[in-house]
Structure formats: C-alpha cells, structure tokens
Chains A and B, each alone.
Chain A
Amino acid sequence: MAEPRMRNITYAQAVRTAIREEMKADETVILFGEDVGQYGGVYGATTGLQREFGSERVRDTPISEMAIGGMAVGAALAGFRPIAEIMYCDFLAQASDAIVNNAAKWRYMSGGQVCLPLVVRSPAGGGAGYAAQHSQNLEAWFAHIPGLKVVMPGLPRDARGLLKSAIRDDNPVLFLEHKAHYTYKGEVPAEEEVIPLGVADIKREGKDVTLVAWSKTLTFCLEAVELLAEEGIDVELVDPRTLQPLDIETICASVGKTGHLVVAHEAVTFGGLGAEIVAQVVEHLWGSLRKPPLRLGAPFVPVPYSEPLERFVIPQVQDIVAGVKAHVG
C-alpha cells in the first residue's frame, strides 16, 4: 500500500482542518464560543472559519460559559451538531452544569429518546506561564462522568482525525486540546482521515517497559524514549488518545508483553487518569507485573506562575527519563 501523501501542519491547523472538513460536509455542524469568529480563537484554531462559513454558523458569543454549554445541549437536542469552544478548560467549571448535568444525562434520563451530538472543545494544560486558573488538566473530572466521552490528542494527525470522529459522534464529547501545543507541527495525511474514538495508538513499539501518555506529555515522551533507547531501555509508548472510553485492552496487551507500566500526565497524580489506568492494569495483570506500576504526574499543588516553579510541577522530558530509568533499573 502506498504511503499516504502527508502535509506538515500545526496542531492548530489540524484542529481547524477537521472543523472545516466537517462543516463543509454537514450543514448542521455549527461553531460558537468566545472570540472564535472574526478573531479566529485566542489560539488561532478557528481562523478563517467565520469568513468561509458565515456568521450564522460560526458565532462569537458573549462571555457566557453557562449559556455556551447549555446552548450546545439545546442545539444538539434539536438536531444540530454544535461545536462549542470554552476558551480555557479551567472555565469548564462554569459550563460544567450544562456538560455534566445536562449533556451527559439527557439521553439516559429520557430513556434513550434523544442523542446529543455535541463537542465541547477546550484548551487544557500548562507550560505557557498562565498560572493556576488557566493551566489545569481536568480530564479526570469529566472522564468520571457516565455519558461523556473525553478526547485528548497529542499529535496533529490525531487531533484532526479524532476531532472529525468527535463531531460525527452522536454523544457529547469533550475535546481537550493543549494550549502550549498549538504551534507543534506534525505529519497529517493530505486526504481525509477519520480516527475512531476509544482506540489507543502505539506510538513506538518496545519490549522493556510500557509508557502511557497523552496530550502534550506524549510529545515529551517521544523525546524521552529516544534518550532512553540510547541507554539501552526499549520503551513501548502507548497513547490512549481517548480517555473515555479508555482502550484498556491495548494498554494491557502492551504491559502483558513488557511487565512494566509507567503512566505520565500533566494533571496532578492524585485521582488522575493514571490512577485509573494503573488500577485496571493491576486488576488484569497482577501476576505478570514485574514491578509496582509508576505514575508520573504533578504534585498536589495548583499550577504556579514562575517558570522554574511551573517546570518543577509539570513532568518534563528529563523527569520522564529519570522516572522510567528508576522504574526499570
């Protein structure tokens, strides 16, 4: 099979490409949020979409996160496929009644009468110096809610393919982009590619240790595994890509092979998705684990402002290298 023709584009361009392709294909796909129109989004992810699709389908909202979230639920109930942008995932706290109490539950509470095909896109993560209220990783909050799907792509190719699936999905999907990652470049097929939700991807095969990571931490891990390879440690890097539903089978298959599990993420370690992944792996593979699994996450503090403080809190490439070495050593 011929290799697909690739383009080298940024994460922001990948997001924009997915929205653009889906808006062209389906006129019920609409986009609204703060500054997403004329301004193109504070991170440029929606640049040009209002010009292309008009101000009826691409709408700037007031600073009204409760209304943005609730309108997405209503529009989905009435047969549209809204994409709502919440400018920072920290502000999902304000929109979360709509997402958690309404979007996630309306189908269930109605006994399956309705489906809610909506996407809430929101930039998560730190590393950009925005401090405690604009840098959190809140995937664990939402992955905990039955009725929601949670996607957290690390690479541009995955961002594009997964966002297309999220828009086409008949369920509410929280699509968490990484704000310090919008300029990160990667290869994306020139032709259409749709990547299913709930399917992990093995970014690098290896035999010594399974390293699970997503979002921007995944790209730190891509660097870390090369450094570890130079030291003779052969890492298998698994990107779940979707945290709800979680492809635990692929993770378990990998750990079954390596006998070692390290999970790395930006969110605080306590109660993070790493805890869930470790728990499920231990339940499935207790007898074949060669070491207690290791979680590499943030200490239990808010994200600080000053660069040395923030770098200390968020796992960096060298932290991942050191953690994996200590784990297998």
Chain B
Amino acid sequence: MSAALAVLWKDLLSEWRSRDRVISMLLFSLLVVVVLHFALPPDAGSTLRAGTAGLLWVAYVFAAVLGMNRSFALELENEALSGLALAPADRGYVYLGKAAASFVLLAAVQAATAFAFALAFDVALLPVAARFAGIAALGGLGLSAIGTLFAAVAVRTRQREVMLPLLLLPVLVPLLLGAVRATAALLDGDGIGAPLRLLAVSDAIYLIVSFVLFDFVLDE
C-alpha cells in the first residue's frame, strides 16, 4: 500500500508544480460546456432539459480522457515508466496510486465544470449538490479506474492520443448509462437507486480487473 501512496504523492506533487494537466482538463471541459451552450438552440426547452445530464457527462468524459493521456505522458519523460515497472511492490498498488491521483484531479475539474454547466444551462444543481457530488464521485472513480488501465496500454503505442479514446469509450458504456441516468433522475426528482447500483457495480468491476491486469500492462 505504501507504493500506492508514494505514486499518489508523486503525481499530485508533480501536478502541483506544473499544473499543466488540471489546467488543460479544466479548459477543455469548460470549452465543451461553452460549445454545447452555443450549439444547442435557445428554445430547446424541455427537450434540452432531458438531455442535460448526458451533456454534462460528455464534458466529464472528454476531460478525463485528456487527463489520463497526460498522466502517463509524465511517465514517458526520462522513461520513468520503467522505474515504476522495476518497483518490487505489487504493480496493482502502482495502479491504485495512479488511479487515485487521476480521481483527485478529475474531481476538481468535475466540480468546476458542474458550476459552469449549471450557469450555462440554468440547471438547479445547488439544492441537490450533495447527492450530485456522490454521483459525480462514483462516476469519476470509474472513469479514473478504467481510464488509468487503458492509458497505460495506450502510452506505449504510436498513436496514443487516438488510441486511448478508441479503447476506453466502448468500455465506458455501462458507467455512462449509470451516471447519466442517476444524474437525470436526480435533476427530475426521481429515485436514483437503480442507476447508482449500476454505477457502483461498474466501478467495482473496473477496479478489480484493472488492479489484476496492470501487472501485465507494465511489461514491455
């Protein structure tokens, strides 16, 4: 477990010094919100409201993909990825450290994006802020969990910027279904139990599978 904490500390400290990952994620997700705001007709009314949750999660997914790519770009400089591969700890803990750092950064971006989204689309997120934060955290956890695994796979390929979304997006379908339905139900004042369960199960599967497979992913 100390290896996971070491990787988490190293990733967050590096990010604190450079801030390049969180800034690029944040700018990108805010741009998505702005583009969606102007792309959708102003008189969309109830149709738009039904799709609000989906639009928000589109922004989150794009930001997460960008962040994951950069997370492992850090490990390519000076071939630090080989340094991680040589650690005697279970590589699953290295994975947990990387995923936890991505989760923390994504959570910060999610919070800022949600605020911008509420303003741009006149969505009343404040009254349901605590429950929305829970859904966003569960979704962010799943995005970080499976995104970290696939980013580690993609980083050794030539077209890594393209490869990550190609690998990741199809696998994200259950997570997105759960996250979008839970968010939509919350905004409509409906029960969120069923989609939340789907979200939690997706997270658990992503985490367990990634923890086990990361050992092979780090091999050359």
- Chain B associates with chain A: no
